[in-house]
Chain A
């Protein structure tokens, strides 16, 4: 158990809908990262937050947004969902501001299925 929690574990929804994925980092960690794992794209970095502020963006669609709250939990919002958004979404956390040396500890993931 990495100490990172994600809810829900599974989510089934329809095209065009909006969902929110939630992540709580390890106790004391200030950085949160979101990744998407799909069969065709593999593991792709989406976005990084440090202490409530966005630090880096990856291949995140405009339909997707995220935020990190004062209690350091983070939410990833996916809207106007398409079939291709079906994937496993991981949250990870690290102790500080996300330097290249920091190990990222991953949560169990949220498996999203868009029908």
Chain B
């Protein structure tokens, strides 16, 4: 079975702090993709990143970085120097082989960045 676990339900930080959101996944597929989405208070789901199972290089985009480790089945997301606008619910998702395009989402982590 495929599963995504985001153990942190809520995280609260003060602006400019660094914060890491954890994502652990389960799959028997050797080929799969992992995604992160952001859901701000307005409600829409915004795509952040896609990573395939064969590419374990970490990725950095501005203040955002992602650490993919197959050995621990984790795909963690770090926000450096957090800002109030980063306040949102963040979802990690998995897309596996022969799943008909279905994304399996974690339960989400609500990040609150206080000024």
- Could you list which residues of chain A lie within 8 angstroms of chain B, going by C-beta atoms? 2, 31, 33, 35, 42-45, 48, 55-58, 88, 90, 92, 94, 97-109, 111
Contacts and interface: CB of A to CB of B under 8 A. Distances in A.
Nearest to B107: A42
Contacts of A97: 101
Residue of B31, B101, B106 with most partner-chain A CB within 10 A:
B101
Closest 4 pairs between A and B when the two form their complex, measured CB to CB: A56-B100, A98-B101, A106-B45, A43-B105
Interface of B: 31-33, 35, 37, 42-47, 50, 52, 91, 93, 95-97, 99-108
Contact of B52 (A43, A44, A88, A101): A101
A45 B102 contact: yes
A51 B22 CA distance: 36
Given A31-B101, A90-B45, A100-B96, A42 B108 contact: yes
